[in-house]
A and B are shown apart, each in its own frame.
Chain A
Amino acid sequence: MALQRANPGVHLKESWAVQRRVIWALLLREILTRYGRHNIGFLWVFAEPMLFTLGVTVLWTAMKSFHGSSLPIVAFALTGYSSVLLWRNMPSRCIGAIEPNLSLLYHRNVRPIDIFLSRLLLEASGATMSLVFLSLVFIFVGSLSPPEDVLQVIIAWLMLTWFGMSLALIIGGLSEDSETVEKLWHPAAYFIFPLSGAAYLVDTLPTSIQRLVLYLPMVNGVEYLREGWFGSRIVAHYDLGYLAWTNALLTLVGLAQVAKVSRNVIPE
């Protein structure tokens, strides 16, 4: 294979420094092209997901959405919809991510994986800031109780983020091979949404169906997150090991697909 990123003898540490620089530059570029310098500019990074979550919270509250537990709807919508942002928006942002950046691939150190990672970082930080900010506001006005186990919430959030990222690498990578992927992903995401655990607690389902929905990796993450947040007030069902193994497998497949894209990409 050809030497791609660095001269021989250049240490791993330096490659890492290069990669960090490139991802940071791409991230700033992405913020500028997506949100521009007008009005609130980069604040849209988290204002946008926040508006979504807020809208869903209001809608579910107004409809007195049935979720089969004693949890307040605000708490339910915030934890549920925020996790949807991770597994749904990250793949959507990675579809067709390379094409508008083809001209940047003239620079040897800019690789497709950097383009994907910069978009994923931006998406993840937007969803995270939105969750933190809205939680603080709802806790402050008294419509949400603080998490019982903050560490468990953080771990659950990280696991869900990892899931979203690995799925995004696969979907994004495949979309470079075939336009059909984009056509299929949007309806798929739409149909998975009601199954994803955002809008129900597994415990309220019949036992036979519980086993089935827990095959969806993100359901395990959402349940774990809610157990961390509400603790004894709900009965959570999850298998964190299953989520971890699926994430690891999806990551491997995703990285392989992105490597394949890297080999075949032609700068504009």
Chain B
Amino acid sequence: MIRLSNVGKSYRTRSGIVQVLDGVNMTVSPGERLGILGRNGSGKSTLIRLISGAERPTCGTVERQMSVSWPLAFGGAFQGSLTGLDNLRFICRIYDVDPEEKVSFVQDFSELGLYLNEPVKSYSSGMRARLAFAISMVVEFDCFLIDEIVAVGDARFHDKCNYELFERRGDRAMIIVSHFPEYIRLHCTRAAVLLKGGLVHTASIDDAFAIYDEERAFAA
């Protein structure tokens, strides 16, 4: 179970304090898949980082009673000057996984070949994405946090990712943030919308879309 109670987050900027999230409440039970819709800049990534524990809320509490992944995205959480394999080993050490057992999986899945021994900063964005996803699948969690994970790679790689995540790990809880409605419709059991710093829960995914579309139309 993950529970956010009255969570708020503000940042200090040059032009004063900006309140990104305010009074966010949510609960995710084991096996549930929650989609969070929100426009660019609505605080989706901030929310995901708060849920993961990478950042701390300004007020309110975040409780995690199951193991929660880091925010999986096709980019971050890597050290550019290290090789792909060194990054794998680093993450395995942090999460107490034997790296040598996972090397062949990452080799196969990422299809990076000899590049696994090259520094990550020499990778193209597609290669980086392949490495990121492969390493994300090395540690098992009860709940995966997924931050905009769709828009990268060719169709075949895309299918491979979907298989690993949604079929092999179909029993896990997931929290997916996206501004691609179709992705959320396809993979989530319920949805909520981030609106003016608050999280609006809805009875059905369609209701969430209705609010999201209305807000988008209003903004446009």
Contacts and interface: CB of A to CB of B under 8 A. Distances in A.
Secondary structure class of chain A's binding surface, majority of residues: helix
A28 B56 CA distance: 27
Interface residues of B, number: 33
Contact of B76 (A4, A29, A103): A103
B77 A103 contact: yes
A32 interface: yes
Contact of B53 (A4, A33, A266, A268): A4
A2 B62 contact: yes
A106 B76 contact: yes
A7 B61 CA distance: 13
Contacts of B52: 106, 108
Interface stretch (A17-25, A78-86, A125-133): A17-25
Interface string B86-118: 100111011110000000000000000000000
B57 A33 contact: no
A104 B49 CA distance: 13
Contacts of B61: 1-3
A11 interface: no
A105 interface: yes
A268 B93 contact: no
Contact of A107 (B64, B81, B94): B94
Q: How large is the interface on A (under 10, 10 to 19, 20 to 34, 35 or more residues)?
A: 20 to 34
A266 B96 CA distance: 25
Interface in A145-177: none
Contacts, number: 83
A38 interface: no
B79 interface: yes
A257 interface: no
A266 B93 contact: no
Nearest to B78: A103
B122 interface: no
A7 B77 contact: no
A109 B93 CA distance: 11
Contacts of B90: 25, 28-29, 104
Chain B interface SS verdict (over half): mixed
Contacts of B71: 106
Given A24-B93, A33-B81, A3 B86 contact: no
B79 A263 contact: no
A103 B77 CA distance: 5
Interface string B47-91: 001101111110011111100101100001111011000100111
Interface in B6-31: 11-12
Contact of B77 (A4, A107, A265): A107
Interface in A23-54: 24-25, 28-29, 32-33
Contacts of B50: 2
A3 B52 CA distance: 11
Given A33-B82, A103-B78, A107-B70, A267 B55 contact: yes
A84 to B, nearest CB: 29
Interface string A121-143: 00000000000000000000000
A100 B70 CA distance: 19
A194 interface: no
Contact of B54 (A1, A25, A107, A263): A107
Interface in A249-268: 262-268
Contacts of B60: 2
Given A25-B94, A103-B79, A108 B70 contact: yes
Interface of B: 11-12, 49-50, 52-57, 60-65, 68, 70-71, 76-79, 81-82, 86, 89-91, 93-96
19 contacts: A1-B61, A2-B63, A3-B63, A21-B93, A22-B94, A25-B94, A28-B89, A29-B86, A104-B77, A106-B49, A107-B70, A108-B52, A110-B94, A264-B12, A265-B55, A266-B55, A267-B49, A267-B76, A268-B76
